[in-house]
Amino acid sequence: MTGVNGDLTRLSLNQETIKQWSLPELAEGCVEAGVPGVGLWRAPVQEYGVEAAARLIRDAGLTVTSLCRGGFFTAIDPAERAAALADNRAAIDEAATLGTDTLILVSGGLPPGSRDLFAARERIADALAELAPYAAARGVRLAIEPLHPMYASDRCVVSTLAQALDLAERFPAEQVGVVVDTYHLWWDDTVSTQITRAGAGGRLASFQLADWITPLPEGVLLGRGQLGDGSVDFRWFRERVDATGFTGPIEVEIFNPALWARDGAEVLAEVVDRYRTLVL
């Protein structure tokens, strides 16, 4: 359902968008701006204390829309795989404590020396088979996020929404869903069809926004743009996600040092303005 008169009822601010803010500053800033949701990351939450963070966000009247991240399932070494599974169980427990039903997964890249994308994706499926029931028992759904193909070698061998759905559909929809992130999927001419497929199967777990800007920075991780600064048609994405019946949060997740160097309240005001004019 689209916001009426530019309302913010579905807007969520991912913590990394204003990384310069502490958790208390994030909560206070979102309340003051009328933003009802926050997406959190494990490292700063752990530093603050998971239970303390849960209380802080709850007492502020905010909703945790997602926790990032689990994943990195593609290791071949048995000890590394066991460690990854243990870390993901911890992430699931943290998500449950924070009161979010969505754990975002960055699935992992190719292990050193490997060129076998297909085997890597099968190891993801094997990990999901172990973790999905554990997560479901705690009220958490695993959300596979496809990343742009430039990350396939080192971060995520799941590069398209179709690939993410091919994995998710091996499991019950209430256990494993997918993420639609405009930064990673804007280029794919099949994405409209795949969004429809995800919606029909009840697989849409998270909808995230960031713009694609060039030139990309060295290392590419920190090249996401403020809404409206790049190539993405956000309203086009929102309309297709809405057409599936998805009414969940719309989370703005931007990694950009230029935004982190600015006043946080100013960045958030800009996010809200861009959201109203470009997304709704």
Please tell me the predicted confidence (pLDDT) of residue 254: 98
Residue 84 has pLDDT above 70, yes or no: yes
pLDDT band at 5 (very low <50, low <70, confident <90, very high): low
Reported as a single tens digit per residue, the pLDDT across 104-161 is 999 999 999 999 999 999 999 999 999 999 999 999 999 999 999 999 999 999 999 9
Please tell me the predicted confidence (pLDDT) of residue 188: 98
**Mean pLDDT of all residues in 239-257:** 98
Neighbours of 86 (CB within 10 A): 10
Please tell me the predicted confidence (pLDDT) of residue 218: 86
For residue 13, the cross-strand partners are 38, 252
Reported as a single tens digit per residue, the pLDDT across 164-191 is 999 999 999 999 999 999 999 999 999 9
Reported as a single tens digit per residue, the pLDDT across 21-66 is 999 999 999 999 999 999 999 999 999 999 999 999 999 999 999 9
Please tell me the predicted confidence (pLDDT) of residue 61: 98
pTM of the model: 0.96
Please tell me the predicted confidence (pLDDT) of residue 85: 98
Instruction: Give the start-end residues of each E strand in 133-194.
Output: 141-144, 176-181
Cα dihedral value 46, 47, 50, 51, nearest 10: 160
Please tell me the predicted confidence (pLDDT) of residue 8: 98
By the 10 Å C-beta count (0-12 exposed, 13-18 middle, 19+ buried), 4 is classed as: exposed
Q: Which of these, 273, 271, 278, lies nearest to 12 by C-alpha position? A: 271
pLDDT band at 4 (very low <50, low <70, confident <90, very high): very low
Please tell me the predicted confidence (pLDDT) of residue 199: 98
Reported as a single tens digit per residue, the pLDDT across 189-244 is 999 999 999 999 999 999 999 999 999 998 899 999 999 999 999 999 999 999 99
Residue 7 has pLDDT above 50, yes or no: yes
Give the gyration radius of the chain's Cα atoms.
18
Residue 6 has pLDDT above 90, yes or no: no
Neighbours of 182 (CB within 10 A): 27
Answer yes or no: are the C-beta atoms of 179 and 218 closer than 8 Å.
no
Cβ contacts of residue 78 below 8 Å, gap of 6+? none
Please tell me the predicted confidence (pLDDT) of residue 69: 97
Please tell me the predicted confidence (pLDDT) of residue 2: 41
Please tell me the predicted confidence (pLDDT) of residue 41: 98
Residue 248 has pLDDT above 80, yes or no: yes
